[in-house]
Amino acid sequence: MASAFSPAWPMAYLKTFGPRADPVTGLTWGLIVLSLAVIAIVTVLVVAGVAVRRQRAAAAGQVLAIGGEAGGQSWIWIGVALTLIALVASLVWTVAVMAEVGSPPTRPALTLQITGHQWWWEVRYLSADPGQTFVTANEIHIPVGRPVLIKLNGADVIHSFWIPTLSGKTDTIPGRTNLTWMQADRPGIYRGQCTEYCGLQHAHMAAFVVAQPPAAFEAWRQAQLQPAATPAGPTTVGEGLFVEHCGVCHTVRGGAAAGVAGPDLTHLMSRATLAAGTVPNTLSGLEGWIANPQALKPGARMPATDLSGPELGQLTAYLETLK
Amino acid sequence: MTLRLALVLLIAVTAAACDRVRGDSTTGGAPATVPSDATLNSIPLGAPPGQPVSVATRIANPFQGNAQAAAEGKQLFGAMNCVYCHGAEASGLMGPPLNNSGWRYGGTPAEIYRSIHDGRPGGMPAWGERLPPDQIWKLVTYLQTLADASGKPSTTGAQAAEQDGADTAHRGLIDAQRAQRALHPQ
Amino acid sequence: MSAGRNTAWEDARVPRTARVTPEFPGPRLHEIWETEPGLKGWLATVDHKEIGKRYIVTAFVFLLLGGVEALVMRLQLAGPNRHLLSPEQYDQLFTMHGLSMIFLYAAPVLSGFSNFLWPLLLGSRDMAFPRLNALSYWVYLAAGIFLYAGFVVGQGPDDGWFNYVPYAGRTYNPGINIDVYALGLILLGISTTVGSANFVVTFLRTRAPGMSIDRVPILTWGTLTASVANLLAVPSVSLAFFLLWLDRQFGMHFFDAAGGEPLLWQHLFWMFGHPWVYAIVLPAMGMVSDGLPAFCRRPLVGYTPVALSTVATMALGFGVWVHHMFATGLPDISLSFFSGASLIITIPSAVAVFAWTATIWLGRPVITTAFLFFASMIVLFVIGGVSGVMTASAPVDWQLTDTYFVVAHLHYVLIGINVFPVLGGAYYWFPKFTGKMLSERLGRWNFWTMFVGFNLGFFPMHLLGLMGMPRRIYTYPAGLGWDLNNLIVSLGSLLFAIGVLLFLINVAISLRRGRVAPANPWDAATLEWSVASPPPPYNFAVIPTIASRHPLWEGRMPDTQTGSRLDDGMLLARGRETLGTSALDAEPNLILEMPGDTFAPVLLGLGLAVLFTGGLLKAWWLAGIGGAICAAALILWFWPNRRHADMPEAADG
């Protein structure tokens, strides 16, 4: 996906790419233009008022004379009337946009359950058939041009799920399920980030939506459904190390590791980043992250290990088989 | 699948513990009886300090005061990666110290047991899947020796049970209800 | 508590009237009202002017602390991936910055101005409850020190000023950090509550005869409205923090997800938080409404609509709290309602903006530093206002909320509508506070540095928000388009800080060798300018009688009523006395016997501080000592004091 489309300013939402966000973007632009106009008018009034009136007072030789109290009320009434018109227009537009983006235009292609954790996103692809359900983390693949329904939960504290180019924020609150939806009209990678302050690593809690043509998405989904390949040859040593050092927190489906405290790593190598966008998922990135996560993401729930250099190599060799 | 699981468990426990921890629960001394899962599950999760937790206080550590169990617990503490988060001698790292300050989730043996068995919020994973009960109790025994050495207020189940005395029947009922709520919030 | 002890004897007494001369009654009143010099007097004084100045100085100290915290954060954020601060440090810094600015600077500084100015504006010799006034200050000081004590030892609050649960719960925040915040804010709430009650009664009962409620300065409308709002809003936040403390320390379940409700916190907090935001701008808007006309050489346009809009803002302000919660998943119908309410609240603000603009256009502006601060505030207010309109629209807020756009908005509102008027007010009233003039020349440097620095530092935050930069992140990666704007913001905030420094330099120079101020250096219209600069301890030699909104401009304006009498009125010199008047028309109806200086307030403040420290440490013996000190202070407070009845009204005639 390296060559995939991605917005030039990944988090900017003045240009959006789907029907959940687009009407809001129009309204945002409308209010920005209105706001700039109001600022310009009032600034001109204040600056010009001071300049003009000082000049006239000086010309009339009445610099310190005191004026009467009457008059000027029409300024207030006209100003309030204009403000009211602008506000009512804003309100009508606002309600119209809310109605427009309130629910998906067509039946959702799939339903995801996204759970905010300190500090990563658990992404569960739901299905009526348990065999079609699987879990991944931080990277959300969706088919292009189809709405996706998202159920949001919080595992620990409140987070907020936000993919600016596709959809506004919705909080993930422990004990509640919030609903949102999104749709990408163009294949590409759309970045998002947690926006509700959630503790030490709130800054490193990115999420990515990968919108793919339906066929590519289906291929990806089928691959995700598969358990990890049984290791063979030298990678079995790595698997042993993984189970011993990592398995109580991480799951690799098809293996002995079934921890739920950290992200599911069954298809780790299909993801572009580690630790919710903190580190690129390259060999060196992986080794650096495992050797000392606390140096890269202080406070993260993953501890540094005491693996020797060769052991680290064996472990990453195993992890690289998790495609 | 079960075979793989058993195999890997064996690797994890034996290899990492340098052959000094044996899987046999009776070698660590002679526990009276290991409390049943049902009893342990009735301990509410997350009772704050200062709260009466009489269910927990009445469950004694089967290895209470057993030096060999404590030594094995210390081995496990290293072998099961506890040191990664809680530091050498449980002096604290990214996880809280377990040797010198108050217990976040209660310091009775049964509460410590549940913290290990079920995990706690903020990164502590559940070890119940990986460790048999007697090994968790040995870890508890080890942590209790650390706490005792530092003069940390830890309560042994037996002592607390004696202090508990007369009003247990009533409190036991309340605790049972609370435990029920804690375990089944919906 | 202290005022209004009108006995049958006093009802029957008809106060003597007198004309003021240099010899009479000033010296006698001086003797009655003067505070003893030295430490004893300093601790015991109940003089509203002294308390007001203390409030302002203390608030500025917290402003500087909060400002330094902000600068350290801006160093961290000046570029991507900087690691000057650890996440823990950054989180405590942004929390302390927020609570310092909002709770320990913005509200107390306005209390300071109002404390100093109210009796002078209203024609009274003190606030209605001078001892409560002193208590309010001491508790504020104690709460400020309490809140900073945790930070100093590395255990400062770290969940933002909004302090959302469950992160603020014991499970995710096991240290003492949040308990410091919880108890500190409850303590501060006591200060706010007694201060507010004092303002309300002072407004209703101690105005000079003839000063009906349509003749009071707008500043008093602002502070009155804010005080009523505080009385209604503070219980919500005090309750919320008390429940949180019970959750954390006694295992209750008000706010956790297992049996409690995390969203309940947000409702309780913002039911307080949003009215509070208006409470910390309305008095400052009042300062502009009163200060701007003095330099425009005409009265404010639209006194009545502006006064009513002040009250209307507050009334509506209680119905908009959900606009802080648009992303929490509430139903659309409720979002529509709160969107509508949040848009409509713009109307009263528009009244004020157009009234000020019209005042400039119908006046003859004289440019002074104070005028520059007041006039520029109009523009900053509008910028903060329109960005508020944008966030009021729920769908737009789904994008804007929790980004730097909101950071920009709230700083335009709080700096634009609080700091700029406060500095304008400082230039305007400094002569009254100290008897010295601030340098106008340094003042221009001060203004332009702050104005340029502020806009350079905060306007680009709008762009950062629109480019998706979330709030409260301690670092950010490169490549998201945020780098340049963040650098500009950091440089701008540095310039802004230099501007604040210039103000302090100006104050220091002026105190040392500033020009001596006459009673009315600006030729302004309101009552505070009729007394010497600084005012004598008794404020007014005789109680003035008021016939218009502009007592000092009477006879020089084409269309105002005349008949105010400032040098000829009731004497009230049998001990510390002032006049009580009726609530609406200010008809005199009783003599208020005012308390003397006393240690009770400072002792009660100390007792409360010890009590709360005991609670924080769960050291109940310490809490017991605190309670005992409080009890002793209250006994001292209510101990019957010697009456003035046997004192002659005046030594001579």
- B50 contacts on C by Cβ (under 8 Å): 249-251
pLDDT at position C23 is 86
Q: Report CB contact under 8 Å: B81, A255.
A: no
Q: Which residue of B has its CA nearest to A260?
A: B125
Strand partners, A274: A279
Q: Which residues of B touch C173 (CB under 8 A)?
A: none
The 10 Å Cβ neighbour count of residue C43 is 16
Query: In this model, does residue C466 exceed pLDDT 60?
Result: yes
- A-chain residues within 8 Å CB-CB of B125? 248-249, 259-261
Neighbours of C152 (CB within 10 A): 9
Which residue in C has a C-alpha nearest to residue B48's C-alpha?
C251
- What percent of chain C has pLDDT above 70? 96
Give the whole-angstrom CA distance, residue B128 versus residue A260.
Answer: 12
What pLDDT is attached to residue C561? Answer: 83
Query: What is the per-residue pLDDT for B88?
Result: 85
Overall average pLDDT of the A47-72 stretch: 89
Classify residue C536 by its DSSP letter: P
Chains A, C: CB contacts under 8 A, how many?
293
Chain B contacts of A245, Cβ < 8 Å? 81
pLDDT of residue B39: 66
CA distance A257 to chain B (A): 9
Closest CA to B51 of B186, B169, B183, B179: B179
* Token output for C519: 């009673």
CA distance A114 to A125: 9
**Does B174 score more than 60 pLDDT?**
no
Q: Is residue B16 pLDDT above 60, yes or no?
A: no
d(CA A75, CA A56): 20
User: Can you tell me the mean pLDDT for C528-545?
Assistant: 95
Q: Which residue of A has its CA nearest to B117?
A: A248
Closest by CA position to A262, among listed A161, A125, A141, A137:
A137
With helix as H, strand as E and coil as C, how does C143-200 read?
HHHHHHHHHHCCCCCCCCCCCCCCCCCCCCCCCCHHHHHHHHHHHHHHHHHHHHHHHH
Are residues C258 and B185, on separate chains, in Cβ contact within 8 Å?
Answer: yes
- C357 Cβ under 8 Å from any chain A Cβ: yes
Of A56, A84, A200, the CB nearest to C87: A200
Contacts of C649 (CB under 8 A, 6+ apart): C15, C16, C571, C573, C574
Radius of gyration in angstroms for the set of CA atoms belonging to chain A, rounded to a whole number? 27
CB C239 within 8 A of CB B161: no
Residue (of C201, C250, C34, C217) closest to C122 by Cα position: C217
Confidence at residue C201, expressed as pLDDT on a 0 to 100 scale: 97
Which pLDDT does position B186 carry in this prediction? Answer: 38
A-B interface: how many C-beta pairs under 8 angstroms? Answer: 58
For A206-246, the pLDDT digits (tens) are 999 999 999 999 999 999 999 998 888 888 999 999 998 99
Neighbours of A44 (CB within 10 A): 11
Query: Contact partners of A by the rule of 3+ C-beta pairs under 8 A?
Result: B, C
Q: Do B185 and C249 touch (CB under 8 A)?
A: no
Name the band, by pLDDT with cuts 50, 70 and 90, for residue C7.
Answer: very low
Average pLDDT over residues C175-196: 96
Interacting residues of A294 by C-beta distance below 8 A, sequence separation 6+: A300, A303, A304, B94
Cis check for the bond before A19: say yes or no (omega within 30 of 0).
Answer: no
Measured between its terminal Cα atoms, the distance across chain A in Å is 14
For chain A, the average pLDDT equals: 94
Subunit partners of chain B (3 or more CB pairs within 8 A):
A, C
Decide if A304 and B84 are in contact by the 8 Å CB cutoff.
Answer: yes
Backbone φ and ψ of A252, nearest 5°: -125, 110
Q: Report the alpha-carbon distance of residue C337 to residue A219 in Å, rounded.
A: 45
Which tokens hold the place of C399?
């994008």
Identify whether the C-beta of residue B99 lies closer than 8 Å to the C-beta of residue B91: yes
Helix (H) or strand (E) holding A146: none
Q: Do C250 and B182 touch (CB under 8 A)?
A: no
Residues 50-69 of A with CB under 8 A from C: 50, 52-54, 56-57, 62-69
The pair of three-digit structure tokens given for residue B123, joined into one six-digit string: 């990164």
Cβ atoms < 10 Å from Cβ of C524: 21
CB contacts, 8 Å: C364 with chain A:
53-54, 56-57, 62-65, 67
Give the whole-number percent of chain A exceeding pLDDT 70: 99
Q: What's the rounded Cα separation, in Å, for the pair A56 and A67? A: 13
- C170, C258, C259 member nearest B48 (Cβ): C170
Task: List, as one string, the DSSP characters of A64-128.
Answer: T----S---HHHHHHHHHHHHHHHHHHHHHHHHHHHHHSS-SS--SEEEEEEEETTEEEEEE--S
Chain A contact set for B11 (CB, 8 A): 240, 243-244
Q: Which residue reads 């010099």 in tokens?
A: C37
d(CA A141, CA A189): 9
CA–CA distance, C389 with C395 (Å, rounded to integer): 12
Q: What's the CA dihedral at C358, C362, C368, C371 to 10 degrees?
A: -20
Q: Which chains touch C (3 or more CB pairs under 8 A)?
A: A, B
A positions 115-134 inside 8 Å of C (CB):
118
Instruction: Please indicate if any CB of chain A lies within 8 Å of the CB of C396.
Output: yes
> In whole angstroms, how large is the CA radius of gyration of chain B?
16
* pLDDT tens, residue by residue, C132-181: 999 999 999 999 999 999 999 989 999 999 999 999 999 899 889 999 99
Q: Which pLDDT value is given to residue A1?
A: 46
For residues C356 and C365, the answer to whether their CB atoms sit within 8 Å is: no
Strand partners, A181: A149
B47/C251 CB distance under 8 A: yes
Mention every residue, 6+ apart, whose C-beta is less than 8 A from residue B26: none
